[in-house]
Amino acid sequence: MRSGAPDKGIVIGAAHAHNIVYQDSTRRFVCIDGFGDKNTVPIHEMSHFANRFKLKRARCRLTKTIRELSA
C-alpha cells in the first residue's frame, strides 16, 4: 500500500496482516483481497478522498500489527 495507491484507483477492502504474502518469484509483498464489497453503498470506491482516508487507517493498523508481530 504505497502512498500513491489511492491515485492509481486501487481499492483494498481488507488490509490485514493475514492478507499479505511474500511472492518469491518477484521478491515482493502482495496483498490478497476478496471480491466484492460488504457495504451496501461502497463510498470508498466512489470517492478518492474516502478511499485515501480508509487506506491511511488501514496502513496504520497494518503497520501496528507488523510491529507487534516483529517484537
What is the phi/psi pair of residue 20, to 5°? -105, 130
What pLDDT score does 25 carry? 92
Which pLDDT score is estimated for 14?
66
Residue 62 CB coordination number (10 Å): 19
Type and span of the H or E element at 29: strand 28-31
pTM: 0.50
Would you write out the chain's pLDDT as a tens digit for each of its 71 residues? 444 444 556 666 666 777 788 888 998 888 777 666 666 777 777 788 888 888 888 888 888 888 888 77
Amino acid at 27: R
State the virtual CA torsion across 52, 53, 59, 65 in degrees, nearest 10: -160
Q: Which sequence spans correspond to the domains of the chain?
A: 5-70
Angstrom distance (rounded) from CA 7 to CA 56 = 13
